[in-house]
Structure 1
Amino acid sequence: MPVPPPLNCPPGLEHLILIDQLLVQQQVEILEDNDCCTRNFCGYNRPFTIKILTLSGQEIIILKRPLRCNSCFFPCCLQKIEVQAPPGVPIGYVSQNWHPCFPKFSVQNENRKEVLKIIGPIMVCNCSTNIDFEVKSLDKGTVVGKISKQWAGFIRELFTNSDNFGIQFPLDLDVKMKAVMLGACFLIDFMFFENTGLQRPKIGIW
């Protein structure tokens, strides 16, 4: 029997209620993904807006990332992303926390109250293995999930931007926060695994 969605569940997010993981897979087209100036001068720091649609074409999630400097020497201009569901209604944020060595992020609800934290490895590089960003609880720092950049093979890693990510989170996590975790995945992808090539990713989510 289908489970009725909670009263505060945004339309389209009811599919996230009974799952504890997502797979994000990129397929690359050789097309421009931003205007020439933004792409060439801002690179992976460039702003973006990502629209997530149902198979019928309905927009259910919007991810918005402003232009930010990606440097540990400028803690006043850290990375962040806003997640909207439905479009125009913010349901959460992911904000980078300054640290000289480790990638650290705060996962926040619509009131900007911290719900989870994400901590990445000290060295973010492809070494024939998955790269895990651990999702931790606030109270005891227990690992409750992860965002994994999955190793796709030497040829694909070397010559393309086509990345695969796995997102794991608690089954009972608020459905809005599950959508915000998807935003965290895209922010991490752009910060650490994208380049400035003339590529526009197509995204599939399962």
Structure 2
Amino acid sequence: MGYAQPGQMQWMPHQQPIPGCPPGLEYLTQIDQLLVHQHLELFEILTNYETNNRYQVKNSLGQQIYFAHEESNFCVRQCCGGKRGFMMHITDNSNQEVLRLNREFKCCGGCCWCANCDCVAADISVEAPAGNVIGYVRQSQSWWYPNYDILNVAKEKVLKIKGPFWFCQNVCCTDDIDFNVMSPDLSTEMGKLSKQWGGIIKEHYTNADNFAISFPMDLTVEMKACLLGAVFLVDFMYFEKPKSKNNR
């Protein structure tokens, strides 16, 4: 899988195996926040051809925990944009795959009004290790707000993510865009997923986004991993927009 180069970054100290915890997810037992930074892709900036996305996943101290890279077809990336299906490989500091995310392409997918239908709802399955599903992120029906359900392996609702009614980021609007992590009945805020302002140049000329996500320390590692998966689904659905060559 080897894209990561551990010698060029500071990694979070290795964690000892924990009984019952999927291998490689021990890191998640020690944290209540993740930072996800997308790589700048020079070829994409120069040509406007969509490349496979790559990300660094860090803790609040800036220590890298995981490296994530997309696997998808070249033609699908150019033709389907943020709706595309993909496989996201998430590896640790020894380049061992500890998480795998799968998103299926759905021709009519993404419409929040019709997200009660499986053929329309955008979703991601979360596997740890690869081939062993531990949960799901699924778009839920709403009239305007971006809504997602975080489901366990039995497809029972554990958390919800509720996005803002309207959002933008530009030279006049530089606030972070917050998606609230809620209890299943929406009565209690449990955390937050935020698309961070990356600066005028980065926001205008690239698709390289920064996210932060917070959650309870005692949340299960499976649900923390699903919330990480939600970051990628939100990124592709709302922020994977082609930058016009006319803006360069």
TM-score, normalised by the number of residues in structure 1: 0.89
Q: Return structure 1 stretches of 4+ with deviation > 6 angstroms.
A: none
CA contact (8 A) 1:40 1:196 kept: no
TM-score, normalised by the number of residues in structure 2: 0.74
Superposed displacement of residue 70, structure 1: 2.1
Matched residue type, 1:144: M
Residue 124 (structure 1) aligns with? 167
1:51-103 deviations in Å (ceiling 9; x for gaps):
01111110000011111222235432111000000111000001001111100
**RCO comparison, higher one (Cα < 8 Å, 6+):** 1
Give the counterpart of 1:38 among 52, 76, 87: 76
Aligned mates of 2:179, 2:136 — CA distance in 1? 17
CA contact (8 A) 2:138 2:149 kept: yes
Figure out how many residues of one structure are paired with residues of the other and give that number: 196
For structure 1, the residue ranges without an aligned partner over 5 or more in a row are 198-206
Give the counterpart of 1:16 among 28, 39, 54: 28
Aligned mates of 1:196, 1:154 — CA distance in 2? 16
Give the counterpart of 1:112 among 137, 155, 162: 155
Give the counterpart of 2:214 among 161, 168, 184: 168
Aligned mates of 2:95, 2:235 — CA distance in 1? 24
Give the counterpart of 1:53 among 68, 86, 91: 91
* Inter-CA distance 122–139: structure 2 relative to 1 (3 Å threshold): closer
Aligned mates of 2:166, 2:150 — CA distance in 1? 22
CA contact (8 A) 1:5 1:17 kept: no
Aligned mates of 1:98, 1:139 — CA distance in 2? 15
Q: Over aligned residues, Cα RMSD in angstroms?
A: 1.8
CA contact (8 A) 2:81 2:241 kept: yes
Matched residue type, 1:168: S
Aligned mates of 1:194, 1:122 — CA distance in 2? 19
Question: How many percent identity over aligned positions?
Answer: 46
Superposed displacement of residue 137, structure 1: 1.1
Matched residue type, 1:104: N
CA contact (8 A) 2:126 2:136 kept: yes
